[in-house]
Amino acid sequence: MARLSAPRVLIVTVNPLSETSNNGKTFASFFKGYPQDSLAQLYFHREAPSSDVCSNYYRIGDEEYIRYHLRQTRLLGQPATCEDAPQMILPARAVNAAKGFELARLLRALAWTRLDLAAPGVREWLEEFDPEVIFFCGGDANYLYRPVLRISDAFSAPLVYYITDDYVLHNPGAGSIERLKRSWTRRLFKQTADMSAAVITIGEAMSDTYRSRYSVESGQLMNLVELPRQIPIYADTQDTPAVISYVGGLHLNRWKVLIEVADSLTRLSAAGQVDAQLDIFAAEIPGEAKKALDDHPRIRYRGSVPSHKVPEIFRSSRALLHVESFDSEARQATLLSVSTKIPEYLSSGRCIVAVGPPEVASIRYLADSGSAFVVTDPELDELDHQLVAALLDVNQRTDVISRGVRLAEKNHDGARRRRWFHNFLSSLRPDVRDSRR
């Protein structure tokens, strides 16, 4: 397919493009190789961008928003660069503590409903860039939806609405404030989907659910990785020590499942079946988890790891672990989302072990494709059995890894999927659309 000329794309998200943080890394992977002078990002976080995919950033964080409304400045927001230090009017500890309270999050969202993207500063920046297409991922930042729709209308720029996590399904176990916020987001979600040129989700489970429940049609664009020409398959159990590595967050009670896996390794060692260790690479340990992880004889907590070191961790691991919590609240929160780490796992050529509820999208994705040793029932015998197979059975490992490689090539090949996405964005340019009528 011939490459169409690249329209000017305005990326509007909460987080900036990033080389490390989950959503920012995902967005950056979509636009890698896109003409840099045809990209700009408007974002709403104190974090500084850390991706060179784009060079034209504009930030409106809490600090900029407060200054503007207190009339300490006549401009809303400011241009940002990768060298910027975060703005710190509000102490980071206070901000993080407030995130733990539903009422505080709701009050913040209500305060942000005064957001006006035609205000001085951001207005001139938008006019100078003059977007032709808008790529928008708002998540549960309810206050962004209507201002973004107004930008789309003002510039006659088609809107591509991208969804990574679910914030709209009914959650019967949620408190009254969370139910109110989801109801608010659900109305905006439907309005935005109806007014978008395209809706794209993180995976098939989300697309199927939104089609059946809300009559929203969507395509899928999953997290992308750079694949080598040929992914080696590391199935030989003699080439690495018996180490299982987990790279990811410990929130949403994932740490409890990691303890269960480590307990299984203890049983297997006592039975003389395999002497294995669980290495955990995570930036933060929830307070309640610290003692349990520190005291476990089969766990080594290795702290955070820079992205360029992750392939080295994979190479020194016999298996890679993905977990999702069995707790009801966490199950709802992760129901339709596919973890950003899974494509990296699949493309590593290493064996994957996945433990979690069968209905959660990440677990379903690996189970349906046969690309991991999957445990969907936290019964001791099943967990022990799958870990032994994953660590010792060369034939099963070969089959599972091969399926994972094929899945990576099909859904996560950065070069191929970006080519499709960039051409799709180009097809939305007004001159291209008009010529096709």
Joined together, the tokens standing for residue 114 give 């005064």
pLDDT score, position 154: 97
Residue 54: closest CA among 2, 19, 4? 19
The helix/strand/coil state of 230 is coil
Q: Which residue has the tokens 């907590």?
A: 301
What pLDDT is attached to residue 306?
85
b/e for 22-57, b at 16 or more Cβ within 10 A? Answer: bbbbbbbbbbbebeeebbbbbbbbbbbbbbebbebb
Supply the pLDDT for residue 435. Answer: 47
- CATH superfamily name and code, 243-411: Glycogen Phosphorylase B; (3.40.50.2000)
What whole-number distance in Å separates Cα of residue 257 and Cα of residue 377? 11
Q: Crossing angle for the helix pair 102-111 and 92-99, nearest 10 degrees? A: 110
Q: For 128-160, how does the pLDDT look when each residue is reduced to its tens digit (9 = 90+)?
A: 999 999 999 999 999 999 999 999 999 999 999
Ranges in the chain, pLDDT < 70:
1-4, 85-100, 430-437
CATH of domain 9-224+413-435: 3.40.50.2000
Any idea which residue has 């539903």 for tokens?
102
Give start and end residues of each alpha helix (H) in 112-175.
Answer: 122-129, 145-154
CB atoms within 10 A of CB 78: 19
Helix (H, G, I), strand (E, B) or coil at 383: helix
**Predicted pLDDT at 286:** 87
Q: Which residues contact 30 (CB under 8 A, 6 or more apart)?
A: 135, 221, 224, 418, 421
Q: Do the domains 9-224+413-435 and 243-411 sit in the same CATH topology, yes or no?
A: yes
Task: Return all residues near 256 (Cβ < 8 A) that are at least 6 apart.
Answer: 289, 325, 327
CB 362 within 8 Å of CB 372: no
Phi, psi of 163 (to 5 degrees): -130, 120
> What's the pLDDT at 284?
85
Calpha distance 199→210 (Å, rounded): 11
Q: What is the pLDDT of residue 206?
A: 96
43 contacts 15 by C-beta, under 8 angstroms: yes
| Residue 273 CB contacts under 8 Å (≥ 6 apart), including other chains | 388, 392
CA gyration radius, the chain: 23
Rounded Cα gap, residues 23 and 161, in angstroms: 15
A 10 A CB-CB count for 217 gives 11
**3-class secondary structure, 58:** strand
Residue 79: Cβ within 10 Å count: 12
* Domain boundaries, given as residue ranges, for the chain: 9-224+413-435, 243-411
Q: In sequence order, what are the beta bridge partners of 352?
A: 320
CA 308 to chain centre: 18
Report the alpha-carbon distance of residue 418 to residue 339 in Å, rounded.
Answer: 19
Conformation bin of residue 50: beta by default, left when phi > 0, alpha when psi is -120 to 50: alpha
Q: Is the Cβ–Cβ distance between 309 and 188 less than 8 Å?
A: no
